[in-house]
Amino acid sequence: MHPAKSVIFFTTTSGAGYGLMFLTILMSMTDTLPTAAGPAPAATVYAVAYLLITAGLLASTFHLGHPERAWRALSQWRSSWLSREGVAAVFTYLPTGIYAIASLVTPAPTHPAVLAIGALGLVGCAVTVWCTAMIYASLKPVHAWCNGFVPASYLWFGLMTGGLVLDLLLRVFAVPSTGLSFSLPAAIVVGLAIKWAYWRRIDGSAGASTPETATGLGRFGTVRSFEALHGQANYLMQEMVFEIARTHADALRRGVYVMLFAAPAILCLAAAVLSSTVAAVAAGTALASATVGIGIERWLFFAEARHTVGLYYGRTAA
């Protein structure tokens, strides 16, 4: 599949934003969010989370044929994961916003109604990212996407990158969370396991469709095109039949292992034991590395996916 820049930006940025919002509300509800520096750190974290979420959602409209009609997608929530994502995203602004204001007034809210609103915000964040993942995981013609590793990676990578942003912001305000600092390396290891399992799956299996099954001519033997279907590239060839060389994919995968997993994990461990200024630099470097890594990972997510329509353009398997 063609890796559209707007979709890559949307999935990575909004995922980090929802992960950041989820962790901030959860830590606030459990009274583990540092408050020694007053409301400024929490206010900044909420602002950054909303900035990431909103920027990502706006970027998603640029991949539409008519961005000005994006609001109409909200009406198809009964059948479309894209529409469900939009509805969930719009809804989530309300409980997260109410809880953010309440938590800035009272750093550790204890009123049952406020806690219920916070829990609703947590559910909204998780459901929105889940719906984003299901836009791809529900597509049976794309074998690489139609599996449980896709929603698992979207949810976990959102938490992982959001956690890196939160760790850096707290360190900038000199109020780091010890629990978060030591949890991040473990979370990164879990993310590595999910991505390794996903790549192992798509490398070790193929879609059920072949040129023979797609045309129904398998009983006559091997099926191949007599000549090219088109004299020049068309929309399907540009969007659905993207090719990436195996050697390039392997090199980029190694880059993901280093930039998204190995380097951030080591830097997070270093930040947990270093002095405040050096720790903030290490946390910032970890976030920068992970930002590059998640961008490469998401680019590969699209570039390595093969749509069944490619069978009509010379591919031997989907």
Domain ranges of the chain: 5-313
Residue 228: per-residue pLDDT: 60
Mean pLDDT, to the nearest integer, of 112-118?
Answer: 95
Q: In the predicted model, is pLDDT for residue 137 greater than 90?
A: yes
Q: How much of the chain, in percent, has pLDDT values that exceed 70?
A: 83
Q: If pLDDT is split at 50, 70 and 90, which confidence band does 64 have?
A: low
Give the whole-angstrom CA distance, residue 301 versus residue 21: 24
| Residue, of 78 and 73, whose pLDDT is higher | 78
Q: Render pLDDT for 7-17 as a digit per residue (tens, 0 to 9).
A: 999 999 999 99
Residue 274: per-residue pLDDT: 86
| Residue, of 101 and 2, whose pLDDT is higher | 101
Residue 314: per-residue pLDDT: 60
Phi and psi (nearest 5°) for 80? Answer: -115, 125
Give the whole-angstrom CA distance, residue 119 versus residue 26: 8
Q: In the predicted model, is pLDDT for residue 88 greater than 90?
A: yes
Q: How many residues does the chain have?
A: 318
Residue 239: per-residue pLDDT: 61
Q: How much of the chain, in percent, has pLDDT values that exceed 90?
A: 58
- The residue type found at 234 is N
Q: Render pLDDT for 181-218 as a digit per residue (tens, 0 to 9).
A: 999 999 999 999 999 999 999 888 776 676 667 677 77
Q: In the predicted model, is pLDDT for residue 235 greater than 60?
A: no
On whether the CB atoms of residues 163 and 180 are closer than 8 A, the answer is yes
Phi and psi (nearest 5°) for 307? Answer: -85, 145
**Helix%, strand%, coil% for the chain, nearest 5:** 75, 0, 25
**Which CATH number does 5-313 carry?**
1.20.1630.10
Q: If pLDDT is split at 50, 70 and 90, which confidence band does 120 have?
A: very high
Residue 38: per-residue pLDDT: 80
Q: Render pLDDT for 246-272 as a digit per residue (tens, 0 to 9).
A: 688 899 999 999 999 999 999 999 999
User: What angle (nearest 5°) sits at the alpha carbon of residue 51, between those of residues 49 and 57?
Assistant: 100
On whether the CB atoms of residues 153 and 159 are closer than 8 A, the answer is no
